[in-house]
């Protein structure tokens, strides 16, 4: 075992939105010594857990998981490594410049990546027209519910943070609101509820199918990334 590498890995904490994203890391043996926390899609918990990771001695925090595209040029499964986070007031929070460059160079050996800006949201963005509005106002590339809290905690604590996300729904894609309410905050699916919602809301069927296919592409990409490592 490479203890030097292991000790460095112990300095990296991961925060995800749902358990499904966390399990991608937990099932990859290289990250068994890292702290991996999921927030149940709670932006405030992302902040408090990031602060806790810093208090526990973690020098770098990675926001990892799925992300919705705001930029219409992004496709499902694209790997996004944003350099900044923007909040509703237009305040910008940069990721660590040196570590971002190192990680991007590492990924370039196997993946195409996109930089850009994350819009920090406190809710799920359900509709394509709302995604367009955010894109037009903030010029943000993607949106998630964890990265802003992590960015704020990192700025206050003086630690490094990075963002590694895969696109699970595109800018033009509407999310099936009623069906998705049958998915728990851990990412587990209530099959009976999903079937019932689709049968009683047939207009959501195509949206649900598209989301399932695109989420699978994003999940596959995140597994590939976890196996490949982050290069920092």
Q: Beta 142-144 vs 60-69: how paired, if at all?
A: antiparallel
- Asked whether 148 and 142 are in contact (CB, 8 A), the reply is no
Residue 207: pLDDT band with limits 50, 70, 90: low
Domains of the chain: 3-172+217-228 (3.40.50.1580)
Give the span between the Cα atoms of 85 and 94, in whole angstroms: 6
What is the pLDDT, as a whole number, of residue 217? 94
pLDDT at 126 over 80: yes
Residue 4: pLDDT band with limits 50, 70, 90: very low
Q: Residue 14: phi, psi to the nearest 5?
A: -115, 140
DSSP conformation letters of 92-161? EEEPPHHHHHHHHHHHTTT--EE--EEEE-SS----HHHHHHHHHHH--SEEESSHHHHHHHHHHHT-EE
What is the pLDDT, as a whole number, of residue 208? 67
What percent of the chain stands above pLDDT 90?
Answer: 70
Residue 6: pLDDT band with limits 50, 70, 90: very low
pLDDT at 85 over 70: yes
What is the pLDDT, as a whole number, of residue 185? 52
Residue 140: name the closest of 92, 97, 175 by CA. 92
Give the span between the Cα atoms of 67 and 143, in whole angstroms: 6
The tokens 């999310």 sit on which residue? 175
- Residue 109 buriedness (CB in 10 A; 0-12 / 13-18 / 19+): exposed
Distance of CA 7 to CAs 1, 16, 22, 61, 164, Å? 11, 22, 21, 15, 22
CA angle 15, 19, 24 (to 5 degrees): 80
Helix segments in 38-83, DSSP class H:
43-55
* Torsion from C-alpha of 207, 167, 126, 186, nearest 10 degrees: 90
């Amino acid at each position: 075992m490479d203890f030097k590498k292991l000790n460095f890995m112990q300095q990296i904490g991961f925060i995800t939105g749902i358990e499904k994203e966390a399990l991608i890391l937990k099932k990859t043996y290289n990250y068994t010594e890292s702290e991996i926390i999921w927030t149940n899609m709670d932006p405030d918990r992302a902040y408090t857990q990031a602060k806790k990771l810093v208090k526990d001695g973690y020098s770098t925090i990675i926001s990892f998981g799925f992300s919705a595209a705001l930029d219409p040029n992004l496709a499902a499964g694209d790997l996004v490594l944003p350099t900044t986070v923007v909040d509703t007031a237009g305040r910008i929070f940069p990721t660590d410049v040196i570590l971002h460059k190192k990680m991007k160079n590492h990924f370039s050996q196997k993946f195409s990546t996109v930089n850009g800006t994350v819009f920090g949201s406190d809710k799920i963005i359900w509709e394509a027209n709302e995604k367009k509005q955010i894109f037009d106002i903030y010029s943000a590339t993607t949106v998630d519910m964890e990265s802003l809290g992590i960015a704020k905690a990192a700025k206050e604590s003086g630690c490094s943070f990075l963002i590694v996300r895969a696109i699970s729904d595109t800018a033009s894609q509407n999310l099936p609101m009623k069906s998705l309410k049958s998915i728990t905050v851990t990412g587990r699916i209530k099959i009976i509820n999903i079937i019932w919602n689709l049968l009683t809301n047939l207009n959501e069927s195509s949206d649900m199918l598209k989301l399932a296919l695109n989420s699978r592409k994003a999940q596959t990409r995140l597994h590939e990334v976890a196996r490949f490592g982050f290069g920092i």
